[in-house]
């Protein structure tokens, strides 16, 4: 009996039984599915990213980087653009990248309902490459993550930076528009960067979330409470009062022997207490 081919992943033998090509074929041919055009486009771009950035050289001592299984679902968090599944998905498939479908808009093309990514191709492809770096790290990285660990560790950040992406350590949110090799490829493809305006030039924030708000997409369902924080211990609270609530933090006052007022958590410096001159 002929033995089935196997490969080894981190000391475990895995049978070669790759359903991804059939999953992709089904997605691209599902003409009655609103996401079929999006799936076909993202699958093509995932292959390009693999060949250009993540696994450009054919090596004889290991297999190639697997292609992702791309899905579309409500991730129940509007600030999440996409997610990489560390384990097998409910259908038993590995290497799943899920695009958050709350960020798709409905349109009609040639009498057929189609979906469009709300923030444009640049942001969509930056998101896809981010998730593919997770796929790369889990397969070829020296420090892959496991459920419960820091999802965006130093190895992940360094790999992203080498490609022109700028995620934040731990949180993973992108702090500025992609540049470097990613931007070079986008220029070759004719994909224009989003116009973030002068606001982003000197701010170090999650540009995806800022762009979400700039398009008016971030208002619905967001909290109307205001954040306040203790300047001594960092304790944070949310309250519904717009003005200064004059809240004092008794534990810190007892510790340092002077009044301690909560300040608005807006990232700015506040003078809380001045002694007599």
In the numeric block, which tokens belong to residue 227?
A: 């954040």
Instruction: Indicate if 123 and 238 belong to the same structural domain.
Output: no
Mean pLDDT over residues 35-55, rounded? 98
DSSP-H helix ranges across 167-267: 180-189, 207-214, 250-256
Instruction: Indicate if 260 and 189 belong to the same structural domain.
Output: no
* Residues spanned by the domain of 249: 226-264
- Those residues whose C-beta lies under 8 Å from the C-beta of residue 235, and which sit 6 or more positions away, are 229, 249
Number of domains forming the structure of the chain? 2
Beginning with the edge strand found earlier in the chain, give each strand of the sheet holding 263-264 in spatial order.
236-239, 226-229, 263-264
pLDDT top residue among 189 and 10: 189
Residue 180 lies in a domain: yes
Residue 182 lies in a domain: yes
Residue-wise DSSP of 35-50? THHHHHHHHHHHHHHI
The mean of the pLDDT values for the chain is 82
Instruction: Indicate if 210 and 230 belong to the same structural domain.
Output: no
What are the pLDDT digits (tens) for 125-170?
A: 999 999 999 999 999 999 999 888 888 999 999 999 999 999 999 8
Residue 270 lies in a domain: no
Q: Which 8-state DSSP code applies to residue 102?
A: G
Residue 200 lies in a domain: yes
- Those residues whose C-beta lies under 8 Å from the C-beta of residue 126, and which sit 6 or more positions away, are 165, 174, 178, 182
């Amino acid at each position: 009996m002929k033995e089935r081919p196997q490969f080894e992943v981190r000391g475990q033998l895995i049978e070669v039984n790759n359903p991804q090509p059939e999953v992709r074929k089904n997605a691209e041919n599902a003409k009655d599915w609103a996401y079929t055009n999006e799936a076909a486009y993202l699958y093509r771009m995932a292959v390009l990213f693999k060949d250009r950035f993540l696994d450009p050289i054919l090596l004889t001592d290991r297999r190639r980087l697997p292609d992702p299984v791309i899905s579309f679902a409500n991730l129940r968090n509007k600030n999440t653009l996409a997610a990489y599944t560390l384990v097998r998905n409910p259908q038993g498939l590995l290497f799943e990248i899920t695009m958050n479908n709350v960020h798709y808009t409905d349109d009609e093309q040639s009498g057929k309902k189609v979906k469009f990514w709300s923030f444009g191709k640049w942001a969509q492809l930056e998101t896809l490459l981010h998730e593919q770096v997770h796929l790369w790290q889990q397969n070829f990285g020296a420090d892959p993550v496991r459920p419960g660990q820091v999802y965006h560790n130093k190895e992940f950040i360094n790999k992203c930076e080498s490609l022109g992406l700028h995620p934040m350590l731990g949180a993973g949110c992108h702090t500025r528009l992609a540049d470097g090799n990613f931007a070079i490829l986008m220029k070759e493809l004719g994909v224009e960067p989003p116009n973030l305006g002068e606001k982003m030039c000197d701010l170090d924030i999650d540009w995806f979330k800022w762009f979400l708000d700039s398009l008016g997409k971030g208002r619905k369902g967001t909290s109307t409470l205001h954040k306040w924080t203790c300047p001594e211990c960092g304790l944070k609270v949310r309250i519904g009062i717009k003005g200064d609530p004059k809240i004092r933090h008794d534990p810190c006052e007892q510790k340092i022997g002077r009044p301690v007022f909560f300040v608005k958590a807006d990232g700015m410096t506040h003078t809380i207490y001045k002694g007599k001159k």
